[in-house]
Amino acid sequence: MKPCEGGLRTVPGYSFSSIKAEIRYKDRLDFSLIASDTRCHCAGVFTTNKIFAAPVALCRERIGGPVKGILINATNANACTGDEGLRNARDLTAAVAGELGSEPESILMASTGIIGVQLPADKMRSAIPQLTGALSADNAGLIPLAIMTTDTIPKECAASFTTSRGEFHIAGTAKGAGMIAPNMATLLAFMITDAPVAKRDLDAVFMRCIDKSLNAITIDGDMSTNDSAFLLSPISDSPLSEEGDLEEFEAALRYVTEKLAELIVTDAEGATKLARITVTGAASEEDARLAARAIAESMLVKTAMFGKDPNWGRIACAAGYSGADITEEKLTIRIEDAVLFTKGAPTEKNLEHLMEILGRRSYTIHVDLGIGNGTATYMTSDLSYDYVKINAEYST
């Protein structure tokens, strides 16, 4: 596996378009389409929120069948919009399918933006011929820009990998900067590959990679109504089946999902810090995840990160209430190489060195529970004044 420049454009067999449909605002890209040259298998992971958007309901119905494209809109979530919202999603995807000469069920949809407002369906429907007419591989770079909401940077990455049948590619783009919490992380993510992978293998590999990346990040502990991640792979009579080939595919996909996860947390609303919370020595992997997530979502830990406050007691406290098996006498905490607490006792620390670490843009907090072999890592951001400002003014 090796990283590639060029994002979505590096994967052959797909075309893209983004236009300004004025869904909520004027003069911004807000209506997009990713289309495959051939029918694809699609792996998908969606929010576990019991309040979920119309496009999520639509995709859950269609994800098991052949997929020709994904219709995407920004600035309006089409969530909490009732039967009308679902009808709009069906009508719009059917219109796209008609333009592409495909079955209505072959078009998925993803939306992001404000909750509780109906889509301007007539306006969007009239824009579909322009959207499909603009499809081109050269427009790949527009997709990361068009899906941004409070994001400050477009997010995409790509990798190539070599198999017994030659070289293949994977690329992805994502949006997300707030309302980020696991299961799944609050975002939209779109990944494509030219590698033909059987549906069962695609689903299994995708879920493993998501669990270690997009489901292991948190910004504010809030889960959205629209969280969706997709991976398209062309349907083939001879999919990759060699064990080594599938391992190479998984390594490349893991790189892409982890890189997108890192970009999301780096671009968190108002963030000035990124921290990896790595828990080792847990009784099980599940315990390690419980402890890592509790620390990563602690408001007190996150505000200490923002203030560069070396208050390791907040880390110990969060691990203690996480639900993981934990004993104070076995607990060790360090930030990078600065040991703060060892087997139940505080240690002498070089405050000058510690403050230098806390002033970095990113660092790792290590927590060893000293019990077993379970490990897990979560990524999180700090909580700043700007986060409050952004989210106090979102709908107005």
Residues carrying an active site annotation = 186
Round to whole Å and give the CA distance between 383 and 386. Answer: 8
Q: Count Cβ atoms below 10 Å from residue 134 Cβ, excluding itself.
A: 16
Q: 76: which DSSP letter?
A: B
Quick count: other Cβ atoms within 10 Å of Cβ 396? 4
Using CA atoms, how far apart are residues 187 and 15, in angstroms rounded to an integer? 22
Closest listed residue to residue 312, CA positions, set 288, 348, 281? 348
Q: Helix, strand, coil % (nearest 5) of the chain?
A: 35, 30, 35
CA-to-CA dists, residue 166 to 3, 13, 63, 163, 256, angstroms: 16, 16, 28, 5, 20
Helices marked H in 142-284? 142-146, 199-211, 243-266
Dist CA 394 CA 176 (whole Å): 14
Measured in degrees and rounded to the nearest 5, phi and psi for residue 192 equal -135, 150
Strands 374-381 and 217-218: parallel
- H helices of the chain, in order, are 54-62, 82-100, 121-133, 142-146, 199-211, 243-266, 285-297, 299-306, 313-321, 351-358, 385-392
